[in-house]
Amino acid sequence: MLRGEMNLVGPRPHPMVNQRIFMERIAYYGLRSTVRPGVTGWAQVRHGYANNIEEETRKMHYDLYYIKNRSLLLDARILVETVAI
The answer to whether the pTM exceeds 0.85 is no
Residue 12 has a pLDDT of 86
Residue 2 has a pLDDT of 58
Which segments in the chain show pLDDT lower than 70?
Answer: 1-2
> Alpha-carbon distance 46 to 64, whole Å?
13
The total of other beta-carbon atoms located within 10 Å of residue 12's CB is 18
Residue 51 has a pLDDT of 87
Residue 1 has a pLDDT of 45
- Asked if 39 and 6 count as a contact pair (C-beta separation under 8 A), the reply is yes
Task: Give the three-state DSSP class for 8.
Answer: strand
Torsion angle of the four alpha carbons 9, 12, 16, 17, in this order, in degrees rounded to the nearest 10: 180
